[in-house]
Amino acid sequence: MGGFAISLLVGWCVPAGAEPAHRAATGIDDLAPAETRAVLALGPWPVPVPPDPGNRVSGHPQAIELGRQLFRDPRMSPVAYIACVTCHQPDRAFTDIKARAHGLADLPRNTPTLANLRLQRWYGWGGGSDSLWMASIKPILDAREFDGNAQLVRRLFVREPALAACYRQVFGVSPLRGDAQRTVLDVGKALAAFVETLTTGRTPFDEFRDALARGDASAAAAYPPRALRGLKLFVGSAGCVACHVGANFSDGEFHPGVAMGGAMGGVAREAAGDRGRLDDAHALRASGFNLLGAGNDDASRRNAAATRRLVPHEGLRGRYRTPSLRNAAVTAPYFHDGRSDRLLDAVQHTQRVTLDEAADLAAFVATLTDAHGARRPWDSSGLQRCP
């Protein structure tokens, strides 16, 4: 996944007072013009995002509330104990801290966090979904995750009249009428409306970046020297910014995974037959829930252009999407298969940095963590009703 393709670590840090004596702290005056431009390009934050044109209920308060309720409801699975929240836990940065996900069975990939997903074009490590609502539907129907089906989803609304009433307020029809597949589609769109609200807040890096933009040396001086050294590496010799670019620290594209032995740019080991972007591109094009289908609410179909151009080919094998580094310090383990528990291990895969430089990079990425850290807020005030 490019020059520095990692999320970051929990469980490894630099002891207090352990900075190498030979390395002086840097100040913003030491940033070269090219470094300053590169740092400024990593913001500002937050990024304004319009509603999803493919989802007619994107941004609607009632749809968000319905999605919030469905997110925690296990009755879309026949075993009645698997829900979205099983793997995407609010007190674990909406992930599960496991190397690889587990629903009703083991899966080959790490559970990604749900933060800031509206900023993406493709969803999942291999880009198996081209919309957030498609990505919300897939686990429900996957035999390894929920093992649900359209009739089981519809039965949830039979059992819960209040939830059915909420659905009617959102979509203007009963969830029990018409094609059951349409009910599944609408459930995915309500879930997507909720997930769109899961965003990360401002961080110490954002304060530094904005101070740099204003030329406010006094405010910028509060930024930790070690983090500033790591930032200079990040936009410079370590090559991280080649893939972890922009305010969300991701180019959203697909790059070769980490090969065994630590080399970057080779084809990663295929876990459980996982061929990365190649498999997911085939599955996406074959799905009736992609943006080329009738479920897309964008009448112009402009949002389907990338899907229309997507042609699965062997060059996609072993490629995975660049993860965002925002709040990455609280979302270990790392890489698509969760192979690294610690930041130091992940950074050393690049073979571009020394141990001291890895410590600096870790200090920088730690400053991409917002005030809530791993424990994301969960508003339960409206769980019994639609607004």
The pLDDT confidence band at residue 382, using thresholds 50, 70 and 90, is very low
Stretch 105-130: mean pLDDT: 96
Stretch 26-53: mean pLDDT: 92
The pLDDT confidence band at residue 272, using thresholds 50, 70 and 90, is low
Query: What residues form DSSP beta bridges with 89?
Result: 95
Q: What is the pLDDT of residue 3?
A: 34
Digit-coded pLDDT (tens) for 289-333: 999 999 999 999 999 999 999 999 999 999 999 999 999 999 999
Digit-coded pLDDT (tens) for 153-174: 999 999 999 999 999 999 999 9
Asked whether residue 73 carries a pLDDT value surpassing 80, the answer given is: yes
Cα 152 to Cα 184: distance, rounded to the nearest angstrom: 10
Cα 209 to Cα 45: distance, rounded to the nearest angstrom: 9
> Is the Cβ–Cβ distance between 212 and 28 less than 8 Å?
yes
Name which residue leads in pLDDT, 266 or 182.
182
* Tokens representing residue 130 in the block: 């081209």
The pLDDT confidence band at residue 263, using thresholds 50, 70 and 90, is very low
Cα 153 to Cα 166: distance, rounded to the nearest angstrom: 15
Q: What is the pLDDT of residue 347?
A: 75
Average pLDDT, the chain: 88
Q: What is the pLDDT of residue 259?
A: 54
The pLDDT confidence band at residue 284, using thresholds 50, 70 and 90, is very high
Cα 229 to Cα 27: distance, rounded to the nearest angstrom: 9
Q: What is the pLDDT of residue 11?
A: 32
Cα 22 to Cα 283: distance, rounded to the nearest angstrom: 53
Asked whether residue 124 carries a pLDDT value surpassing 60, the answer given is: yes
Digit-coded pLDDT (tens) for 352-379: 789 899 989 989 999 999 999 888 776 6
pTM of the model: 0.89
Closest CA to 187 of 222, 138, 118, 220: 138
Stretch 188-194: mean pLDDT: 98
Q: What is the pLDDT of residue 22?
A: 36
Asked whether residue 265 carries a pLDDT value surpassing 80, the answer given is: no
Digit-coded pLDDT (tens) for 211-220: 999 999 999 9
Name which residue leads in pLDDT, 378 or 207.
207
Stretch 39-58: mean pLDDT: 97
Q: Describe the chain by its helix, strand, coil percentages, rounded to 5.
A: 40, 5, 55
Q: What is the pLDDT of residue 345?
A: 79
Cα 282 to Cα 311: distance, rounded to the nearest angstrom: 8
Q: Which helix (H) or strand (E) holds 182?
A: helix 180-195
Q: CA angle, 52 as apex, 47 and 55 as ends, to 5°? A: 155
Q: What is the pLDDT of residue 202?
A: 97
The pLDDT confidence band at residue 264, using thresholds 50, 70 and 90, is very low
Which domains does the chain show, CATH number per domain? 28-46+217-276+318-366 (1.10.760.10), 61-195 (1.10.760.10)
Digit-coded pLDDT (tens) for 1-14: 333 333 333 333 33
